[in-house]
Amino acid sequence: MDYFGQLLANGLVLGAIYALTAVAFTLVYGVVRLVNFAFGELFMLGAFLTTSLMLPEVRLFGTVVPMPGFPLPIAALGAIVITGVIGVVVDRIAYRPLRNAPRLAPLITSIAVSVVLQSLAQTAWGAEELRFPQFYLATLPPVVLFDSIYLSVMDLVVMATAIVAMLGLSLFIARSSLGRAMRASAEDQTAAMLVGIPVNRVVAAAFAIGSGFAALAGLLYAQTYGFAHSSMGFLPGLKALTAAVLGGIGSIPGAALGGLILGLVEALGAGYLPNGTAWKDAISFVLLVGLLYLRPQGLLGRPELNSAGRGSLLGGASEAGAFWLRAVFARVDALLARFAAAGAPAALGLLAIAIVVGTLVPSDYWLRILTMVVIYGMLASGLNVIVGFAGLLDLGFVAFWAVGSYLTSILFVLVLKESYGVAPQEVWWLLYLNLPLGGLLAAGLAVLLGTPTLRLRGDYLAIMTLGFGEIVRVVAINWMDLTRGPMGIRGIPAPNLFGISLGSPRAQFFFALALAAVVVFAVARLVRSYVGRAWVAIREDEEAAEAMGVPTARYKLYAYAASGFVGGFVGVFYAHSQQYISPLNFSLFENILLLMLVVLGGLGTFIGPFVGALIWIVFLQLALDLPFVQAYPETRFALLGVVLIVLMVFRPQGLAASARVGLTMPGARAKEAA
């Protein structure tokens, strides 16, 4: 009972923090139907700003800056106001131009905003934790309930603050005129605008309040756990989103309820399940996935929220865009269009150029980088099948990549070498078996994970796939016997052909290139057929596709399978190329990065994923020569995020948009030209 009571108390504190953040998600979703992934980062900013304002001095951008050293309440207020302003600015710059864009656009933008804010925070405050200063209330002796449950005064403050803030918000929304305007805009934006409600201002208010709530949650979290860190908002942000979905996104009582349930489940799960602390993140995500499957509208939500508008990022007029961008791209576009029209010969030409480059590049260093370009290009191509062609945002793609990598590593290292003493050179051929095997296994997993998502659309689909990806990662970390957990697997043999090692950087580059040719060829053959037409039809208008006789559920699964196959297939090679893998290689961030590369290069094109990978990875290296980047390497990620935000607003089709892919079989059209 005492143990239970203590867990209950911990759960309530955690639940209060989740609930506050969930309110942020739910408020903004309610008004603009946007899942703003960046709230996790606003949560982090709230923590950093409060901590900084409380300290006498802080190291910012490497220099010591004097700070006011406010007491907690004043610092908190300051942090909440500043974060609120940041939230409004983000909305104005990144989201408002996308109000009428397809749902994928603001979703991707919010992910990019997340990346920007996190990188900038790391640049400003550094990669280390910032310790949260002691506040005098925290030095008081804990309150003891029932002789055995210890609650610090600050825990009580956290709970009381959460309750007051949420009651205050409910009152505000119920009674004030701005609250009424918010409810009206949530019902129907156009109608609200027609009766004279300044919808943009209402949305800005929702962002201000939501960001303030996220900041409040963040600073309470930092207070409770004693630190602020640039990546601290990531998991609590996801948990809060889970809480919001659990309660029914769009509903404020739902957010409170969801936060509370999630906090309690997590605390009790961590306390009672065997090895519970290690699995507690998985608990939340299993809950999320199960809930989305059984009751996507959440406990208190409305069913119609699981809907997506028609159209895709690629369906709009491709001539759109800012004039200066159009000027810049006009020439590139013409070139790419000609390249795409040429089809197979152009692709072979590109392959030839890659071979020449691979032969001539003298440095091993650059060969390794180019190999990474090809690997990321292939992975992005796999993701492109599901996101670019079928139009389904998949944030769990890394799981497929991980499956391929782990399959081959476990077989080669843990089973054959360590259990049976078989040297990798003796079974070099196994790699060539593992490539398709890894692909098939990942495709199987993709179908398994894809099936429950079939009923979901848009935002909920993204959230569910994200949940799956995280579950797979948590399993990889904790299933020590199978995966060696966070230590990872070492000593994976380099690729080998007939006993000849292909471990040299040059050999690896050509190996990767050969695989890339296979991947692109296979994907292109599928896309340029009735299968690809069905995918694109689903992307553009699912109902119309269904009315044309396309069994959309089945074709979505095919897209998952094809995408998963590529992920697993490339994953096998990746493990042998790196010779070491650990769960860190397959984080959600990698998934986000791949997504950004596809969007950067051009969704729904064959060349786009490689263009994105080439630009990004080469830039990543070249920028290291700049002293500024040497001091702040994270700024490169911030730049990628900014570029993506600009692209979403002005050119959502990506850089290589004009390399449009034909959807008919190339040979089949040769004759009708006459």
Partner 1 sequence: MTELKGGALLEARQVVVRFGGLEAVGGLDMAVARGAIHGLIGPNGAGKTTVLNVLTGFIRPTAGRLVFDGEEIGGLNVNGFARRGLARTFQNIRLFGAMTVLESVLVGAHQRFSASAPALIFGGRAARTAERAMIARAHELLDFVGLRHDIADRVATTLSYGHQRRVEIARALMSSPKLLLLDEPLAGMNAVEKQEIAELVRQVRAQGIAVLLIEHDMQIVRSLCDHLTVLEYGKLLADGAPERVLSDPAVQAAYLGRAR
Note the residues at the interface with partner 1 (CB under 8 A): 310-312, 314-318, 521-522, 525-526, 529-531, 533-534, 536-537, 540-541, 543-552, 558, 562, 604, 660, 662-665, 667-669, 671-672
> Whose CA is closest to 17, among 279, 282, 214?
214
DSSP 8-class letter at 581: B
- Strand partners for 150: 144
CB of 663 to partner 1, least distance (A): 5
CB of 534 to partner 1, least distance (A): 6
CB of 518 to partner 1, least distance (A): 10
Q: Which is nearer to partner 1, 218 or 654 (CB)?
A: 654
Q: Which is nearer to partner 1, 402 or 524 (CB)?
A: 524
Q: Which two tokens stand for residue 553?
A: 């559920």
Phi-psi region of 662 (alpha: psi -120 to 50; beta: other; left: phi over 0): beta
CB of 406 to partner 1, least distance (A): 25
Q: Which is nearer to partner 1, 63 or 190 (CB)?
A: 190
- Residue 619: in which H helix or E strand, if any? helix 608-622
Q: Which is nearer to partner 1, 89 or 665 (CB)?
A: 665
Q: How far apart are CA 636 and CA 629, in angstroms?
A: 7
Q: Which is nearer to partner 1, 285 or 565 (CB)?
A: 565
CB of 459 to partner 1, least distance (A): 20
CB of 536 to partner 1, least distance (A): 6
Q: Under a CB-based contact definition with an 8 Å cutoff, are residues 108 and 388 in contact?
A: no
CB of 641 to partner 1, least distance (A): 26
CB of 665 to partner 1, least distance (A): 4
Q: Under a CB-based contact definition with an 8 Å cutoff, are residues 185 and 33 in contact?
A: no
CB of 337 to partner 1, least distance (A): 12
Q: How far apart are CA 609 and CA 613, in angstroms?
A: 6
Q: Which is nearer to partner 1, 121 or 557 (CB)?
A: 557
For 484, residues 6+ apart whose C-beta sits below 8 A from its C-beta are 414
Q: Under a CB-based contact definition with an 8 Å cutoff, are residues 125 and 47 in contact?
A: no
Q: How many CB atoms lie within 10 A of CB 407?
A: 21
Burial group, residue 561, by CB count within 10 angstroms (0-12, 13-18, 19+) = buried
Q: Which is nearer to partner 1, 118 or 453 (CB)?
A: 453
DSSP 8-class letter at 56: S
Q: Which is nearer to partner 1, 331 or 671 (CB)?
A: 671
CB of 455 to partner 1, least distance (A): 13
Contacts 24+ apart (CB under 8 A), 538-542: 538/390, 538/391, 539/312, 539/314, 539/315, 539/389, 539/390, 539/391, 539/392, 539/604, 540/310, 540/311, 540/312, 540/315, 540/391, 541/310, 541/311, 542/310, 542/457
Q: Which is nearer to partner 1, 319 or 625 (CB)?
A: 319
Q: Under a CB-based contact definition with an 8 Å cutoff, are residues 630 and 393 in contact?
A: no
Counting DSSP H helices and E strands in the chain, the numbers are: 27, 8
Q: Which is nearer to partner 1, 271 or 452 (CB)?
A: 452
